[in-house]
């Protein structure tokens, strides 16, 4: 149950960050092109932009991460059943990767080559967090492998209105049941 609440909270943070960036705020360079691409892909069919679903995002993420040298950590955060269509969580087994930092960079690079655009990047104390966007999806790629704990996670959330409503409802339900 704690994992489900954590994943739902993470989804809320991803949506909050997505909402803040969509207001024309602090993003510099590339934000207008990322916004245009996501806007075009979020409508009924988009103009040449594919509408992704959770299975397609999971497949792209799994292929990029395993090609980069990661194996999935089966004990990683699991997405609650009610959010399966709106969220994908993929935790790398950082201990098994020969060079987690390189594998993280290679995963992000492969995703960028597959049409994901970088919206934000943050680095502090050896940790890296990158936000990538494609269609209505936003992906938080986190690398915290510089210290003794080798944690590398990828959490993708569909920021479209249907999923935003489902995630908000799930977060409210978990908040009242705590």
Please tell me which residue, 163 or 41, carries the higher pLDDT value: 163
Please tell me which residue, 176 or 32, carries the higher pLDDT value: 176
Cβ-based neighbours of 121, under 8 Å, separated by 6 or more: 128, 129, 130, 131
Q: Model-level pTM?
A: 0.72
pLDDT tens for 126-176 read 899 999 999 999 999 999 988 888 899 999 999 999 999 999 999 998 887
Percent above pLDDT 90 for the chain = 58
**pLDDT in the model for residue 50:** 66
DSSP class of residue 81 equals G
Q: What number is the average pLDDT over the span 24-43?
A: 34
Which phi and psi (to 5°) does residue 118 adopt? -80, 125
DSSP class of residue 158 equals E
Give the sheet arrangement for strand 151-158, strand by strand. Answer: 87-93, 151-158, 137-144, 127-134, 117-124
Beta bridge partner(s), residue 153: 91, 142
**pLDDT band at residue 20 under the 50/70/90 scheme:** very low
**pLDDT in the model for residue 111:** 98
């Amino acid at each position: 149950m704690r994992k489900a609440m954590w994943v739902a909270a993470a989804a809320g943070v991803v949506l909050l960050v997505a909402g803040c960036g969509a207001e024309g705020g602090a993003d510099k360079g590339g934000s207008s092109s990322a916004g245009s691409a996501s806007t075009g892909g979020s409508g009924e069919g988009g103009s040449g932009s594919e509408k992704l679903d959770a299975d397609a995002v999971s497949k792209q993420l799994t292929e990029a991460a395993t090609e980069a040298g990661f194996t999935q950590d089966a004990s990683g955060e699991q997405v609650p059943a009610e959010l399966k269509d709106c969220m994908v969580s993929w935790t790398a087994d950082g201990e098994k990767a020969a060079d987690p930092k390189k594998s993280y960079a290679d995963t992000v690079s492969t995703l960028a080559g597959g049409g994901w655009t970088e919206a934000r990047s943050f680095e502090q104390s050896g940790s890296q967090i990158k936000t990538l966007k494609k269609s209505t999806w936003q992906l938080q790629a986190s690398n915290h492998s510089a210290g003794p704990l080798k944690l590398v996670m990828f959490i993708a959330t569909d920021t479209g209105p249907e999923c935003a409503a489902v995630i908000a409802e799930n977060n409210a339900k978990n908040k009242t049941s705590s």
